[in-house]
Chains A and B, each alone.
Chain A
Amino acid sequence: MPINLKTPVVESREQRLGTVIGWEGSAEELAVESCFKRGGGCGGQKARRVCELQSPFTQGSVCSEQMVECQAGNVRDAVLIQHSPIGCGTGQVIYNSIYRNGLAMRGLPVQNLHLISTNLSERDMVFGGVAKLERTIRDAWERHHPKAIFIASSCSTAIIGDDIDSVAAAAESEIGIPVIPLHCEGFKSKHWSTGFDATQHGILRQIVRKAPEKKQEDLVNVINLWGGDVFTPMLGELGLRVNYVVDMATVDELAQLSEAAATVTFCYTLGSYMSAALEQEFGVPEIKAPLPYGFEGTDAWLRAIAKQTNREEKAEAYIAREHARVKPRIAELRELLKGKKGYVSTGSAYAHGLIGVLRELGVEVEGSLVFHHDPVYDSQDPRQDTLAHLVDTYGDVPQFTVGNRQQYQFYALLQRIKPDFIIIRHNGLAPLAARLGIPAIPLGDEHHVVGYQGIVNLGESILDVLAHKKFHQDLAAHTKLPYRKWWLEQTDPFVLAKEKQAAQAAPRQPAALSSSVRRVGAK
């Protein structure tokens, strides 16, 4: 089933891809259950079904609106309006800091982001917030004369039913710039990555040039975050130019997405929706290959781009040159890292790539925690099955866990594996690992590990972080965790989920937890 750009509301990840946020097994098992490349038998339908574990205990996750903040809110000459009480706006702080540092790293002028909250009060919950939204759109226009205005919905404005679509349409015709409603209320999707899709959906509908006058045959869309500029030199070797989107792009750069020769990404979790839609709606081919991590992945990725853009000779020369350049240092790194155990805990497709790089470096990887799992990506093309690519190229990962950043589960996972270090991107897990004496590599620059140089980069970073161990072991001797002894003794991070499942499977039995409450209530 194709992507539907006709409605203003994006279809959630779970609807489109069958996304799950709780699962455990081996990487191979998950690849089979996902029926992407492996299974085949259940292919064809839109959302795949992977059995999901739901725990009664959950810790704070992340919502779709946050991903809209950090995508639409980081377009350089646009304004994002958060139509919500002031609390949703709190996220402006983190994404301002990340935006500023991202701009500095990319060599762009450093500036604060432009996010405006409609700052709704109790009264607005009763009478509706539409008038305030109209006024805030006016404020955004008068203050900044942006090239586009995004509007993010919120849990509260979705519940009270504010019609942001009509307000946006009216404002767009009045001001004459795209005014783009993004439906991203947190309760609508169990995984935050739907927020990436919501932003991309809005950009595709209202910013991307519908009938481009020209095609730019040497332009490649790179869907990424705030990472350093590693794609320009890489693709420059093939005579290609880079169009980075969405973070830190200008509205014009978003508009020219439809003119490019191809679309690539550093992570299909982020890039799946945009890439597939650009191909479907605008004929911009999506590169269908493993992601550019490790020798195999990078080789295949470069060759796919070269084939698409008729630059095969240049690509082969570059690949040969780069292999020769990095291999001696990688051989040294493999010596230095011999016997070290790593653990990867990042977004889904990105983790598949990182595990591959670790294995190239000779680091043992027995386990990984990914924050969600998409059984398929929007292209439905098995060449993008990054999980199967990982297993086929580098072998199985025996302890493969899916969980939406549940720190309490991470404890048992680390106890099982006892890694020497972990690789993370999202917040909240490294602090626990740190208290257990395990240092973390926080990959702020997501491009650090991309390509051939990325293998070397990661190896050097591991050496740095292993030295950090002194700090963490000292801390481990002087800290107390907030978890009960009973929980710390559990070896199965999903034990509560399985208890709940068992209780639900036996309908005459009251659920374990509600029974204790019923006892309490009876007193």
Chain B
Amino acid sequence: MTAHDLKTTLGSAKPIVDKTIVEKTHSIEQIRYGCAIGAMQSVVAIPRAIPITHCGPGCADKQFMNLAFYNGFQGGGYGGGAVTPSTNASEREVVFGGGERLTELIGSTLKVLEADLFVVLTGCIPDLVGDDIGAVVKPFQQQAVPIVFAETGGFHGNNFTGHERVTRAIIDQFVGPYDGAPEAGTVNVWTLLPYHNTFWRGDLTEIKRLLAGIGLKVNILFGPESAGVDEWKAIPRAQFNLVIGPWLGLETARHLETKYGQPFLHAPALPIGAGETSAFLRRVAAFAGLDKDRVEAFIADEDARYYKYIEDFTDFYSEYWWGLPARFAVIGDAGYALGLTRFLVNQLGLIPARVIVTDNPPEETRGLISAEFRAIADDVAVDVAFEEDSYTIHEILRKTDFGHKPPILFGTTWERDLARDLKGAIVEVGFPSSYEVVLNRSYVGYRGALTLLEKIYTTAVGASA
């Protein structure tokens, strides 16, 4: 069998025939992202930062309960959950405008809550009635209150859009200008969407550990390993920006390139497993001009440990009697979908039956994403589908050929019934994961990959008898 034949049989993810399955409309059933104001969770992800929401009474609750609670039960954090101030806009703010009410809320927030940074986020109501948020926030900024604002009304886009807007607002309104020299060996990392990605805390921890391991000083910016606003203030001093993932963060990196003259490195695939992670680290090290010996020593050490476990796992993987899944589907954000697919194909030798990207990447990034999926391995190409409506997604999956064995689905809670119908297994790896309790679990890097193996095969074995 030639490589070309393999490509056609293994890479069996045929072009999506969704046009014949169901007519594509704007409708979204069983959502896979929040709206722009969901980026309040990006604020919560910065230690000691608190969002202030100017929106209807339900918006803040909707975003946090769904992105942060019924998605891995991650929790409200310091200033999230029911702590988050909100104008709870009423008919009065709709009719007369909500500027005055927002001023009142910010003023009283400063009396009640303690934070290093406040970020005002707007919902549909103020963005439709035309409240001048800049005029409300400016007097506080002039008073040296650490406060910025971002327009995040739901109709502007999803929480990925909101995340880039919030990030930019903090950089432009809080971090401010810088014309000093760059600090060699320091990097700003732009990667997974906090909270929306169920495992972001553990993953960012592993990513920081890896980059620090090869000798970088890391501004991880979000999550438990971030130093909070001090780290954000240090953004302009970094030598470069590192975007990990196919598209999220690119807009921010380009903005920083213009604003501070910082170069950026784009690593489209989230590294999962030793092969991917070692290659990723070598690429970063070359870009940053790091000491080769130190980098190679770190990689060798991590490799050795990783492969010790893989060796032990091999007994199970090669001898287990009762069958393990061979074909898989991934339904998730471009970032995780790409990283997972590469790992499942290249490390485990599983066969991709279908990959569906659900985070609505900007049109101009889809060519790159498709190309990445076509180059999963020399002998495996995947034709990725972009789809956000779960009804359509499930129709596609029901018509997918998973071969002679039950498939394994890497998806969300929405796929639980489908997995049951297909008599397959489900591993919830993305929003919403309502049947996972996640603390510091990670699926990336060297360590995360091993945890992922445990999860996959505990799921398979656990359901066997």
Contacts and interface: CB of A to CB of B under 8 A. Distances in A.
Interface of A: 55-66, 84-94, 96-97, 100, 110-122, 124-125, 132, 135-136, 139-140, 143, 154-156, 159-160, 185-188, 190, 192, 404-405, 407-408, 427-429, 431-432, 480, 482-484, 486-487, 496, 511, 513-514, 516-517, 520-521, 523
Given A143-B29, A188-B91, A155 B56 contact: yes
A187 B28 contact: no
A94 B70 contact: yes
Contacts of B29: 114-117, 139, 143
Listed residue (A186, A428, A486) with the most chain B CB atoms within 10 angstroms of its CB: A186
Interface in B57-96: 57-67, 69-71, 75-76, 78-79, 81-91, 93-94
B53 interface: yes
Contacts of A484: 111-114
B67 to A, nearest CB: 7
Contacts of B71: 93
A188 B95 CA distance: 11
B28 A57 contact: no
B458 interface: no
B434 A90 contact: no
Given A429-B82, A483-B113, A57 B108 contact: yes
A197 B58 CA distance: 17
B85 A520 contact: no
Given A56-B105, A143-B22, 11 more contacts: A59-B82, A60-B59, A63-B58, A85-B154, A90-B38, A97-B435, A139-B29, A156-B153, A186-B58, A482-B50, A513-B103
A57 B63 contact: no
Given A94-B70, A516-B107, A59 B83 contact: yes
Interface string B148-182: 00000111111000000000000000000000000
Contact of A482 (B25, B78, B90, B157): B78
A513 B108 contact: yes
A276 B88 CA distance: 30
Interface in B292-339: none
Interface string B124-164: 11001100000000011011000000000111111000000
A85 B90 CA distance: 19
Contact of A117 (B27, B87, B416): B27
- In this complex, the interface size class of chain B, counting residues with CB under 8 Å from chain A, is 35 or more
B461 interface: no
B363 to A, nearest CB: 14
Contacts of B442: none
B162 to A, nearest CB: 9
B83 to A, nearest CB: 5
Contact of A63 (B30, B56, B155): B56
B86 A59 contact: yes
B88 A61 contact: yes
B61 A61 contact: yes
Listed residue (B37, B50, B71, B114) with the most chain A CB atoms within 10 angstroms of its CB: B114
A482 B113 contact: yes
22 contacts: A59-B83, A85-B155, A87-B124, A89-B28, A90-B34, A90-B66, A96-B432, A116-B27, A117-B31, A121-B155, A143-B22, A156-B124, A159-B124, A187-B89, A187-B93, A190-B57, A408-B112, A427-B82, A482-B78, A482-B113, A516-B107, A517-B139
B109 interface: yes
B34 A136 contact: no
B31 A85 contact: no
Contacts of A121: 155, 157
A91 B61 CA distance: 9
Contact of A159 (B111, B112, B125, B432): B125
B36 to A, nearest CB: 7
A136 B108 contact: no
Shortest 3 CB-CB contacts between residues of A and residues of B: A428-B82, A87-B35, A63-B58
Interface string B15-52: 00000001001111111011111100000000000100
Contacts of B100: 514
B123 interface: yes
B157 to A, nearest CB: 8
